[in-house]
Protein backbone atom coordinates (compact mmCIF):
# COMPACT_ATOMS: atom_id res chain seq x y z
CA UNK A 1 0.00 0.00 0.00
CA UNK A 2 1.41 3.41 -0.96
CA UNK A 3 1.23 6.64 1.04
CA UNK A 4 -0.28 10.00 0.18
CA UNK A 5 1.00 11.45 -3.11
CA UNK A 6 1.51 15.03 -1.89
CA UNK A 7 4.93 15.40 -0.23
CA UNK A 8 7.71 17.95 0.02
CA UNK A 9 9.50 15.97 -2.68
CA UNK A 10 6.92 17.14 -5.21
CA UNK A 11 8.23 19.73 -7.66
CA UNK A 12 7.14 23.27 -6.92
CA UNK A 13 4.56 24.25 -9.56
CA UNK A 14 3.96 27.83 -8.49
CA UNK A 15 7.05 29.91 -7.78
CA UNK A 16 6.25 33.45 -8.84
CA UNK A 17 8.58 36.09 -7.39
CA UNK A 18 7.35 37.78 -4.24
CA UNK A 19 5.73 41.11 -5.20
CA UNK A 20 6.47 44.25 -3.25
CA UNK A 21 2.76 44.94 -2.83
CA UNK A 22 -0.60 43.30 -3.43
CA UNK A 23 -4.12 44.54 -2.84
CA UNK A 24 -4.96 41.28 -1.04
CA UNK A 25 -2.76 38.54 0.41
CA UNK A 26 -4.37 35.13 0.93
CA UNK A 27 -2.62 32.85 3.39
CA UNK A 28 -3.27 29.18 2.71
CA UNK A 29 -3.43 27.25 -0.56
CA UNK A 30 -6.39 24.98 0.13
CA UNK A 31 -9.73 25.08 -1.62
CA UNK A 32 -10.96 28.11 0.36
CA UNK A 33 -7.82 30.15 -0.22
CA UNK A 34 -7.54 29.20 -3.89
CA UNK A 35 -11.14 29.99 -4.76
CA UNK A 36 -11.09 33.22 -2.73
CA UNK A 37 -8.06 34.35 -4.73
CA UNK A 38 -9.70 33.30 -7.99
CA UNK A 39 -12.86 35.32 -7.41
CA UNK A 40 -10.87 38.37 -6.30
CA UNK A 41 -8.73 38.20 -9.43
CA UNK A 42 -11.87 38.08 -11.57
CA UNK A 43 -12.68 41.50 -10.17
CA UNK A 44 -9.28 42.73 -11.43
CA UNK A 45 -7.92 42.89 -7.88
CA UNK A 46 -4.23 42.05 -7.44
CA UNK A 47 -3.95 38.94 -5.26
CA UNK A 48 -1.00 37.04 -3.86
CA UNK A 49 -1.60 33.55 -2.48
CA UNK A 50 1.00 32.15 -0.08
CA UNK A 51 1.32 28.41 0.59
CA UNK A 52 3.94 27.17 3.03
CA UNK A 53 4.14 23.77 1.32
CA UNK A 54 2.30 22.77 -1.84
CA UNK A 55 -1.14 23.74 -3.11
CA UNK A 56 -3.84 21.50 -1.57
CA UNK A 57 -1.19 19.47 0.24
CA UNK A 58 -3.18 19.16 3.46
CA UNK A 59 -6.90 18.62 4.10
CA UNK A 60 -8.11 20.02 0.78
CA UNK A 61 -6.67 16.97 -1.00
CA UNK A 62 -7.16 14.45 1.82
CA UNK A 63 -10.94 14.69 2.21
CA UNK A 64 -13.54 12.22 0.97
CA UNK A 65 -14.33 14.13 -2.23
CA UNK A 66 -18.02 14.64 -1.46
CA UNK A 67 -19.79 17.74 -2.79
CA UNK A 68 -22.92 17.49 -0.73
CA UNK A 69 -25.91 19.57 0.21
CA UNK A 70 -27.23 16.74 2.35
CA UNK A 71 -26.82 17.04 6.10
CA UNK A 72 -25.62 20.65 6.01
CA UNK A 73 -26.25 23.24 8.68
CA UNK A 74 -29.17 25.44 7.65
CA UNK A 75 -26.85 28.45 7.33
CA UNK A 76 -24.43 26.54 5.11
CA UNK A 77 -27.01 25.11 2.76
CA UNK A 78 -27.60 28.21 0.59
CA UNK A 79 -23.84 28.60 0.15
CA UNK A 80 -23.30 24.97 -0.83
CA UNK A 81 -26.19 25.21 -3.32
CA UNK A 82 -24.27 28.10 -4.90
CA UNK A 83 -21.08 26.04 -4.66
CA UNK A 84 -22.61 23.23 -6.69
CA UNK A 85 -23.38 25.64 -9.51
CA UNK A 86 -19.87 27.04 -9.31
CA UNK A 87 -18.28 23.56 -9.30
CA UNK A 88 -19.94 22.84 -12.64
CA UNK A 89 -18.83 26.16 -14.08
CA UNK A 90 -15.27 25.91 -12.78
CA UNK A 91 -14.88 22.29 -13.90
CA UNK A 92 -15.50 23.45 -17.47
CA UNK A 93 -13.15 26.40 -17.13
CA UNK A 94 -10.33 24.27 -15.72
CA UNK A 95 -10.00 22.46 -19.01
CA UNK A 96 -9.21 19.25 -17.14
CA UNK A 97 -11.27 16.30 -15.96
CA UNK A 98 -11.53 16.69 -12.18
CA UNK A 99 -13.85 13.73 -11.76
CA UNK A 100 -16.94 15.88 -11.20
CA UNK A 101 -20.07 13.73 -11.38
CA UNK A 102 -23.61 13.99 -10.05
CA UNK A 103 -24.06 10.59 -8.41
CA UNK A 104 -25.84 11.43 -5.16
CA UNK A 105 -25.10 11.10 -1.45
CA UNK A 106 -26.91 8.60 0.78
CA UNK A 107 -26.92 8.18 4.58
CA UNK A 108 -28.05 4.82 5.93
CA UNK A 109 -30.08 4.47 9.14
CA UNK A 110 -30.20 1.48 11.46
CA UNK A 111 -32.56 3.02 14.02
CA UNK A 112 -35.69 5.12 14.32
CA UNK A 113 -33.59 7.78 16.07
CA UNK A 114 -31.40 8.16 12.99
CA UNK A 115 -34.47 8.38 10.76
CA UNK A 116 -35.83 11.13 13.00
CA UNK A 117 -32.61 13.11 12.54
CA UNK A 118 -32.90 12.68 8.80
CA UNK A 119 -36.50 13.92 8.91
CA UNK A 120 -35.34 17.15 10.60
CA UNK A 121 -32.93 17.86 7.78
CA UNK A 122 -35.54 17.00 5.19
CA UNK A 123 -37.58 20.02 6.34
CA UNK A 124 -34.54 22.28 5.82
CA UNK A 125 -33.87 20.79 2.40
CA UNK A 126 -37.48 21.31 1.31
CA UNK A 127 -37.29 24.99 2.31
CA UNK A 128 -34.39 25.43 -0.11
CA UNK A 129 -35.72 23.29 -2.93
CA UNK A 130 -33.11 20.54 -2.51
CA UNK A 131 -34.19 17.11 -3.78
CA UNK A 132 -33.43 15.21 -0.57
CA UNK A 133 -35.84 12.39 0.21
CA UNK A 134 -36.28 9.68 2.81
CA UNK A 135 -36.35 6.01 1.85
CA UNK A 136 -37.92 3.16 3.76
CA UNK A 137 -36.35 -0.26 4.16
CA UNK A 138 -37.44 -1.43 0.74
CA UNK A 139 -36.41 1.76 -1.02
CA UNK A 140 -32.97 1.60 0.57
CA UNK A 141 -32.45 -1.98 -0.55
CA UNK A 142 -33.54 -1.05 -4.07
CA UNK A 143 -31.13 1.91 -4.22
CA UNK A 144 -28.10 -0.19 -3.24
CA UNK A 145 -29.13 -3.79 -3.91
CA UNK A 146 -25.63 -5.22 -3.41
CA UNK A 147 -25.73 -4.60 0.37
CA UNK A 148 -25.94 -7.66 2.59
CA UNK A 149 -27.52 -5.83 5.53
CA UNK A 150 -31.05 -4.56 6.00
CA UNK A 151 -31.39 -0.95 7.09
CA UNK A 152 -34.31 0.83 8.69
CA UNK A 153 -34.14 3.38 5.89
CA UNK A 154 -31.99 6.11 4.39
CA UNK A 155 -31.76 9.75 3.39
CA UNK A 156 -30.57 10.43 -0.13
CA UNK A 157 -29.94 13.53 -2.26
CA UNK A 158 -29.61 12.56 -5.94
CA UNK A 159 -28.29 16.00 -7.02
CA UNK A 160 -25.22 15.79 -4.78
CA UNK A 161 -21.89 15.34 -6.51
CA UNK A 162 -18.38 14.02 -6.14
CA UNK A 163 -14.93 15.02 -7.45
CA UNK A 164 -11.29 14.01 -6.97
CA UNK A 165 -9.77 16.43 -4.42
CA UNK A 166 -6.10 16.04 -5.26
CA UNK A 167 -6.90 16.69 -8.92
CA UNK A 168 -9.57 19.35 -8.47
CA UNK A 169 -7.89 21.86 -6.15
CA UNK A 170 -4.57 22.06 -8.05
CA UNK A 171 -6.61 22.47 -11.24
CA UNK A 172 -8.45 25.39 -9.62
CA UNK A 173 -5.09 26.88 -8.64
CA UNK A 174 -3.88 26.74 -12.23
CA UNK A 175 -7.11 28.42 -13.29
CA UNK A 176 -6.53 31.14 -10.67
CA UNK A 177 -2.98 31.67 -11.95
CA UNK A 178 -4.33 32.09 -15.49
CA UNK A 179 -6.63 34.80 -14.13
CA UNK A 180 -3.63 36.65 -12.69
CA UNK A 181 -3.29 35.36 -9.12
CA UNK A 182 0.33 35.36 -7.96
CA UNK A 183 0.78 31.95 -6.29
CA UNK A 184 3.93 31.19 -4.33
CA UNK A 185 4.46 27.70 -2.95
CA UNK A 186 7.10 26.87 -0.34
CA UNK A 187 6.69 30.38 1.04
CA UNK A 188 5.31 30.62 4.56
CA UNK A 189 3.56 33.69 5.86
CA UNK A 190 5.32 34.34 9.16
CA UNK A 191 3.45 37.30 10.61
CA UNK A 192 1.06 40.10 9.83
CA UNK A 193 2.41 43.62 9.78
CA UNK A 194 0.20 46.36 11.18
CA UNK A 195 0.26 50.14 11.23
CA UNK A 196 -2.17 52.32 13.18
CA UNK A 197 -3.90 49.14 14.30
CA UNK A 198 -4.76 47.73 10.86
CA UNK A 199 -3.15 45.47 8.27
CA UNK A 200 -0.26 47.09 6.43
CA UNK A 201 1.58 44.03 5.15
CA UNK A 202 2.50 40.39 5.54
CA UNK A 203 5.92 39.17 6.51
CA UNK A 204 6.94 36.00 4.66
CA UNK A 205 10.09 33.89 4.72
CA UNK A 206 11.04 35.65 1.46
CA UNK A 207 10.37 39.15 2.71
CA UNK A 208 7.51 41.60 3.20
CA UNK A 209 4.48 42.23 1.00
CA UNK A 210 2.69 45.52 1.51
CA UNK A 211 -1.08 45.08 1.62
CA UNK A 212 -4.15 46.47 3.32
CA UNK A 213 -6.11 43.20 3.24
CA UNK A 214 -5.19 39.69 4.37
CA UNK A 215 -7.25 36.50 4.38
CA UNK A 216 -6.21 33.72 6.72
CA UNK A 217 -7.50 30.42 5.35
CA UNK A 218 -4.84 28.16 6.78
CA UNK A 219 -6.91 25.20 7.92
CA UNK A 220 -5.41 23.43 10.92
CA UNK A 221 -2.73 26.13 11.28
CA UNK A 222 -5.09 29.10 11.53
CA UNK A 223 -5.46 29.21 15.30
CA UNK A 224 -1.69 29.10 15.84
CA UNK A 225 -1.11 31.90 13.34
CA UNK A 226 -3.86 34.13 14.75
CA UNK A 227 -2.95 33.59 18.41
CA UNK A 228 0.49 35.06 17.70
CA UNK A 229 -1.40 38.27 16.82
CA UNK A 230 -3.69 38.30 19.85
CA UNK A 231 -6.68 36.78 18.03
CA UNK A 232 -8.09 33.70 19.76
CA UNK A 233 -10.43 31.23 18.09
CA UNK A 234 -11.49 27.87 19.61
CA UNK A 235 -10.23 25.76 16.75
CA UNK A 236 -8.87 22.24 17.20
CA UNK A 237 -7.60 19.68 14.71
CA UNK A 238 -8.69 16.06 14.57
CA UNK A 239 -7.04 13.25 12.64
CA UNK A 240 -9.11 11.20 10.22
CA UNK A 241 -7.88 8.17 8.26
CA UNK A 242 -8.83 7.49 4.63
CA UNK A 243 -7.94 4.85 2.06
CA UNK A 244 -8.34 4.31 -1.67
CA UNK A 245 -8.87 0.93 -3.30
CA UNK A 246 -7.70 -0.37 -6.64
CA UNK A 247 -10.41 -0.58 -9.33
CA UNK A 248 -13.32 -2.80 -8.25
CA UNK A 249 -16.70 -3.77 -9.69
CA UNK A 250 -19.25 -0.99 -9.18
CA UNK A 251 -21.71 -1.60 -6.37
CA UNK A 252 -22.94 2.01 -6.22
CA UNK A 253 -21.95 5.08 -8.22
CA UNK A 254 -22.41 7.63 -5.46
CA UNK A 255 -21.30 8.30 -1.89
CA UNK A 256 -22.73 6.38 1.07
CA UNK A 257 -22.21 6.42 4.84
CA UNK A 258 -23.52 4.84 7.99
CA UNK A 259 -22.11 5.04 11.51
CA UNK A 260 -19.35 2.50 10.73
CA UNK A 261 -18.23 2.99 7.13
CA UNK A 262 -18.27 5.67 4.43
CA UNK A 263 -17.43 5.07 0.81
CA UNK A 264 -17.69 6.70 -2.60
CA UNK A 265 -16.97 5.60 -6.12
CA UNK A 266 -13.75 7.09 -7.48
CA UNK A 267 -13.07 8.33 -10.97
CA UNK A 268 -10.38 5.65 -11.38
CA UNK A 269 -12.85 2.83 -10.72
CA UNK A 270 -11.91 2.23 -7.10
CA UNK A 271 -13.51 3.43 -3.88
CA UNK A 272 -12.51 5.95 -1.26
CA UNK A 273 -13.15 4.44 2.18
CA UNK A 274 -13.32 6.07 5.60
CA UNK A 275 -14.68 5.37 9.04
CA UNK A 276 -18.24 6.56 9.43
CA UNK A 277 -17.59 8.92 12.33
CA UNK A 278 -14.43 8.07 14.25
CA UNK A 279 -11.56 10.56 14.54
CA UNK A 280 -8.67 11.23 16.91
CA UNK A 281 -7.81 14.39 18.83
CA UNK A 282 -4.28 15.05 20.04
CA UNK A 283 -4.57 16.75 23.42
CA UNK A 284 -2.45 19.91 23.52
CA UNK A 285 -2.53 23.46 24.94
CA UNK A 286 -5.49 24.55 22.77
CA UNK A 287 -7.46 21.45 23.70
CA UNK A 288 -7.19 22.45 27.36
CA UNK A 289 -7.76 26.13 26.63
CA UNK A 290 -11.01 25.53 24.75
CA UNK A 291 -12.25 22.39 26.51
CA UNK A 292 -15.41 23.96 27.93
CA UNK A 293 -16.53 25.16 24.49
CA UNK A 294 -16.36 21.59 23.18
CA UNK A 295 -18.40 20.06 26.00
CA UNK A 296 -21.75 20.26 24.13
CA UNK A 297 -20.28 18.39 21.14
CA UNK A 298 -18.65 15.87 23.46
CA UNK A 299 -21.92 15.23 25.29
CA UNK A 300 -23.84 14.88 22.01
CA UNK A 301 -21.39 12.28 20.67
CA UNK A 302 -19.22 11.02 23.56
CA UNK A 303 -17.71 8.14 21.61
CA UNK A 304 -17.13 9.87 18.30
CA UNK A 305 -13.63 11.11 19.10
CA UNK A 306 -10.70 9.18 20.54
CA UNK A 307 -8.13 11.11 22.54
CA UNK A 308 -4.37 10.84 22.18
CA UNK A 309 -2.00 12.22 24.82
CA UNK A 310 0.20 14.48 22.73
CA UNK A 311 0.59 15.61 19.14
CA UNK A 312 3.80 14.76 17.30
CA UNK A 313 6.51 17.39 17.36
CA UNK A 314 5.80 20.33 15.09
CA UNK A 315 2.01 19.85 14.85
CA UNK A 316 -0.11 23.00 15.37
CA UNK A 317 -1.18 22.04 18.90
CA UNK A 318 1.94 20.15 19.92
CA UNK A 319 3.26 21.03 23.37
CA UNK A 320 6.63 21.83 21.82
CA UNK A 321 5.38 24.09 19.02
CA UNK A 322 6.35 27.74 19.63
CA UNK A 323 3.46 30.17 20.19
CA UNK A 324 5.57 33.28 19.59
CA UNK A 325 8.23 34.08 17.00
CA UNK A 326 9.64 37.11 15.20
CA UNK A 327 9.21 38.07 11.57
CA UNK A 328 12.92 37.63 10.93
CA UNK A 329 13.17 34.07 12.30
CA UNK A 330 11.97 30.69 11.16
CA UNK A 331 8.33 30.07 12.04
CA UNK A 332 6.52 26.81 12.86
CA UNK A 333 5.03 26.92 9.36
CA UNK A 334 8.42 26.48 7.73
CA UNK A 335 9.43 23.74 10.12
CA UNK A 336 6.49 21.64 8.93
CA UNK A 337 5.76 22.41 5.31
CA UNK A 338 3.17 19.64 5.02
CA UNK A 339 1.11 18.31 7.91
CA UNK A 340 1.15 14.63 6.99
CA UNK A 341 -0.18 12.49 9.85
CA UNK A 342 0.18 8.74 9.68
CA UNK A 343 -3.02 6.80 9.02
CA UNK A 344 -4.34 4.81 11.95
CA UNK A 345 -3.67 1.12 11.32
CA UNK A 346 -6.68 -0.05 13.32
CA UNK A 347 -8.94 2.31 11.34
CA UNK A 348 -7.73 0.72 8.09
CA UNK A 349 -8.48 -2.73 9.47
CA UNK A 350 -11.95 -1.54 10.52
CA UNK A 351 -12.65 -0.14 7.04
CA UNK A 352 -11.64 -3.40 5.43
CA UNK A 353 -13.82 -5.41 7.82
CA UNK A 354 -16.88 -3.15 7.59
CA UNK A 355 -16.79 -2.82 3.81
CA UNK A 356 -16.51 -6.59 3.34
CA UNK A 357 -19.28 -7.15 5.88
CA UNK A 358 -21.56 -4.84 3.91
CA UNK A 359 -20.49 -6.33 0.56
CA UNK A 360 -19.42 -9.93 1.25
CA UNK A 361 -19.15 -10.59 -2.48
CA UNK A 362 -15.71 -8.99 -2.15
CA UNK A 363 -13.46 -11.57 -0.51
CA UNK A 364 -10.72 -8.98 -0.28
CA UNK A 365 -10.62 -5.18 -0.47
CA UNK A 366 -7.53 -4.15 -2.49
CA UNK A 367 -6.37 -1.05 -0.61
CA UNK A 368 -3.72 0.70 -2.71
CA UNK A 369 -3.26 3.99 -0.83
CA UNK A 370 -3.87 5.15 2.71
CA UNK A 371 -3.44 8.51 4.38
CA UNK A 372 -4.70 10.73 7.16
CA UNK A 373 -5.53 14.41 7.41
CA UNK A 374 -5.99 16.95 10.17
CA UNK A 375 -9.48 18.45 10.01
CA UNK A 376 -9.86 22.01 11.32
CA UNK A 377 -12.83 21.71 13.66
CA UNK A 378 -14.99 24.19 15.55
CA UNK A 379 -17.07 23.54 18.70
CA UNK A 380 -20.39 23.92 16.86
CA UNK A 381 -19.28 22.18 13.63
CA UNK A 382 -19.63 25.28 11.46
CA UNK A 383 -16.82 27.59 10.29
CA UNK A 384 -15.71 31.10 11.12
CA UNK A 385 -16.10 33.37 8.11
CA UNK A 386 -15.77 36.93 9.33
CA UNK A 387 -13.74 40.11 9.51
CA UNK A 388 -11.50 40.05 12.58
CA UNK A 389 -12.65 42.77 14.95
CA UNK A 390 -9.20 42.95 16.52
CA UNK A 391 -7.33 43.81 13.30
CA UNK A 392 -9.09 45.81 10.56
CA UNK A 393 -8.24 44.48 7.13
CA UNK A 394 -8.02 40.86 8.34
CA UNK A 395 -10.59 38.26 7.24
CA UNK A 396 -10.75 34.79 8.79
CA UNK A 397 -12.08 31.79 6.85
CA UNK A 398 -11.44 28.59 8.77
CA UNK A 399 -12.92 25.76 10.82
CA UNK A 400 -14.68 24.11 7.91
CA UNK A 401 -14.99 21.01 10.13
CA UNK A 402 -14.63 18.52 7.30
CA UNK A 403 -17.17 20.37 5.13
CA UNK A 404 -14.78 22.61 3.19
CA UNK A 405 -14.14 20.80 -0.07
CA UNK A 406 -17.74 20.65 -1.24
CA UNK A 407 -18.63 24.17 -0.15
CA UNK A 408 -15.25 25.55 -1.24
CA UNK A 409 -16.13 27.60 -4.35
CA UNK A 410 -19.22 29.03 -2.63
CA UNK A 411 -17.21 30.08 0.40
CA UNK A 412 -14.45 31.41 -1.83
CA UNK A 413 -16.92 33.67 -3.59
CA UNK A 414 -18.38 34.78 -0.22
CA UNK A 415 -14.95 35.54 1.26
CA UNK A 416 -13.87 37.49 -1.82
CA UNK A 417 -16.92 39.74 -1.50
CA UNK A 418 -16.40 40.02 2.26
CA UNK A 419 -12.90 41.35 1.59
CA UNK A 420 -14.24 43.87 -0.92
CA UNK A 421 -17.10 45.01 1.30
CA UNK A 422 -19.65 43.92 -1.29
CA UNK A 423 -23.11 42.53 -0.72
CA UNK A 424 -22.60 38.89 0.27
CA UNK A 425 -25.93 37.44 -0.79
CA UNK A 426 -26.04 35.10 2.23
CA UNK A 427 -26.57 35.60 5.95
CA UNK A 428 -23.19 35.08 7.67
CA UNK A 429 -24.41 35.70 11.23
CA UNK A 430 -24.04 32.00 12.05
CA UNK A 431 -20.35 32.15 11.09
CA UNK A 432 -19.35 35.24 13.09
CA UNK A 433 -16.19 35.07 15.15
CA UNK A 434 -17.84 36.71 18.19
CA UNK A 435 -20.29 33.85 18.79
CA UNK A 436 -17.72 32.23 21.08
CA UNK A 437 -17.22 35.32 23.23
CA UNK A 438 -20.45 37.37 23.16
CA UNK A 439 -22.42 35.18 25.53
CA UNK A 440 -24.35 33.41 22.79
CA UNK A 441 -25.50 29.89 23.55
CA UNK A 442 -23.73 27.34 21.43
CA UNK A 443 -25.91 25.83 18.70
CA UNK A 444 -24.51 22.55 17.42
CA UNK A 445 -24.60 22.05 13.70
CA UNK A 446 -25.66 18.65 12.36
CA UNK A 447 -22.96 15.99 12.56
CA UNK A 448 -24.44 14.26 9.53
CATH code for the part of the protein at 24-104+159-436: 3.50.50.60
The pLDDT-based confidence of 305 (bands split at 50, 70, 90) is confident
Question: Sign of the CA dihedral 96, 266, 242, 121?
Answer: positive
pLDDT per position as a tens digit, 104-131: 999 999 999 999 999 999 999 999 999 9
Interior/surface letters 247-276, b for 16+ CB within 10 angstroms, e for the rest: ebeebbebbbbbbbbbbbbbeeebbbbbbb
Instruction: Tell me how far CA of residue 137 lies from CA of 105, 118, 154, 252, in angstroms.
Output: 17, 14, 8, 17
- For 99, residues 6+ apart whose C-beta sits below 8 A from its C-beta are 65, 162, 163, 164, 167, 168, 266, 267
Q: What is the mean pLDDT of the chain?
A: 94
pLDDT at 447: 65
Number of other residues whose CB lies within 10 A of the CB of residue 405: 28
Closest alpha carbon to 387 in 224, 212, 221: 212
Domain boundaries, the chain: 24-104+159-436
Bridge partners, 308 (sequence order): 282
- For 339, residues 6+ apart whose C-beta sits below 8 A from its C-beta are 58, 220, 221, 315, 316, 374
| CA dist., res. 126 & res. 133, Å (int) | 9
pLDDT per position as a tens digit, 246-285: 999 999 999 999 989 999 999 999 999 998 766 888 889 9
Is the pLDDT score of 303 beyond 70?
Answer: no
Question: Quick one: DSSP state of residue 391?
Answer: S
- The three-state secondary structure class of 415 is helix
Closest alpha carbon to 100 in 275, 273, 276, 265: 265
Is the pLDDT score of 328 beyond 70?
Answer: yes
Give the E-state strand segments of 51-121 in sequence order.
Answer: 66-67, 101-102, 105-109
C-alpha neighbours within 13 Å on the C-beta side of residue 424: 17
Question: Sign of the CA dihedral 48, 51, 54, 57?
Answer: negative
pLDDT per position as a tens digit, 403-418: 899 999 999 999 999 9
Give the strands of the sheet with 66-67, arranged side by side: 66-67, 161-162, 101-102
- The per-residue DSSP string of 2-26 comes to B--S--TTSPPS-BPPPPSB-SEEE
Query: What's the pTM value of the predicted model, to 2 decimals?
Result: 0.96
Amino acid sequence: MTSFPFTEAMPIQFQAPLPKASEVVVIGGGVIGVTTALFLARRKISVTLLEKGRIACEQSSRNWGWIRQQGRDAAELPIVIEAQRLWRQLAEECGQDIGLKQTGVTYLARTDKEMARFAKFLKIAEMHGVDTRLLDQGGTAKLIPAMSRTFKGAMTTPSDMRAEPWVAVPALARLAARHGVTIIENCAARMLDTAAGRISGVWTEQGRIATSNAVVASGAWTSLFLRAHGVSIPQLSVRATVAATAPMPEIHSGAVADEHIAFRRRHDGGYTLASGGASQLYVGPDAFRHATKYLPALMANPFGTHYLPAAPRGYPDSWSTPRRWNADEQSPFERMRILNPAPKASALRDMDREFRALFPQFETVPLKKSWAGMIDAMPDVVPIVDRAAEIPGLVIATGMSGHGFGIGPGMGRVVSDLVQGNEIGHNLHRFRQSRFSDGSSLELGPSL
